[in-house]
Amino acid sequence: MEQLTKSAPKKLRQLLKLSISLGAIFYLFSNIDRDVLFVILKKTDLWWLFWAFIAFNLSKIVSAIRLNYYFRSIGIALSEWRNLQLYYLGMFYNLFLPGGISGDGYKIYLLAKRHGRNYKKLLQATLLDRISGLAALFVLGGMLYAVSRFASLSTIFQILALSGAVLAIPVNYLITKRFFADYLAIFLPTTLYAFGVQLLQLLCALFLIWAINAPPSMTVEYLALFLISSVVAILPISIGGIGVRELTFLYGFGLIGGDTTSAVAFSLLFFLITVLSSLLGLFVKSDFHPNH
């Protein structure tokens, strides 16, 4: 009974996330021309879609390399290949097993059991990895926002975007120095890798823009909103960002009078790439399990 009581809040949170995702999808398809959406998806250039898939997975490989810097800092020696396998296993858990443990949580659990490290150190390493990625995202996202049509909508948001772009890396450095000094030695390489990840993600987005034959004049807006939607998708309010990323594109392009249906098609194709890439986690060897 006690176990049931403890798991109840977690189940309620997952139910709420599922409801938000389903509600967002329902709202989404109620506010776009579904026939036009299917035409855009049907006419998608598969060649550029393929390269978008490649760029996305290259970003994940670079991201895994960055994470391994943090693991090595706490004495966990994983080969890049084994670390990459673990990374894709985490991606699979994040997307396909939302009712259980998250991908990050599962990685922490496996490494703690296998390498005898305490959870606090592993949690710190994983958290800093996320913060590093967010810092790079804020720099590039802020710069793109400031030169996009979105900047004309609000002076305050334009100032915030530029401030985020300028301050993200210094703030990240100060946080690392003040609270996680043990990781300061790897600040530079992990920051550079973080930018590599985001630039490859932007390249993926660019290929998707070409895949749906979106107007070249809207490229900056697509890229800016892509990074903004990446931040929204991270928020723990939905299942794997499903629905909320698409809503971000619907609402964002609606604000500037853009083609919302094409924007949603772009977002759905990115979700498709995420799903296909996460499925690769199925092929990770079972000996990763701590009981093996």
CB 233 within 8 A of CB 95: no
Q: In which residue are the tokens 């701590």 written?
A: 290
Q: What gap in Å lies between CA 232 and CA 216, rounded to an integer?
A: 25
When pLDDT is averaged across residues 177-197 and rounded to a whole number, the result is 93
**Do residues 209 and 259 make contact, with C-beta atoms less than 8 angstroms apart?**
no
Query: Of all residues in the chain, what percent carry a pLDDT higher than 70?
Result: 86
Kindly report, residue by residue over 39-56, the tens digit of the pLDDT.
988 999 999 999 999 999
Q: Quick check: 194 pLDDT over 70?
A: yes
Query: Where along the chain do its domains lie?
Result: 11-282
CB 273 within 8 A of CB 59: no
Q: What is the DSSP string of 115-153?
A: H---HHHHHHHHHHHHHHHHHHHHHHHHHHHHTSGGGGG
Contact assessment for residue 106 and residue 186, using Cβ atoms and an 8 Å cutoff: no
Which one of 14-28, 37-51, 109-123 scores highest in mean pLDDT? 37-51
**CB neighbours of 256 closer than 8 A, spacing ≥ 6?**
149, 150, 153, 221
One-character DSSP codes across 221-254: HHHHHHHHHHHHHHSTTSSTTTTHHHHHHHHHHH
Residue 167: its pLDDT value, please? 95
Query: Does residue 234 carry a pLDDT above 60?
Result: yes
Closest residue by Cα to residue 219 from 206, 229, 228: 206
Does the predicted TM-score (pTM) go above 0.85? yes
What is the 8-class DSSP label of residue 236? T
Token reading at 197: 């990840």
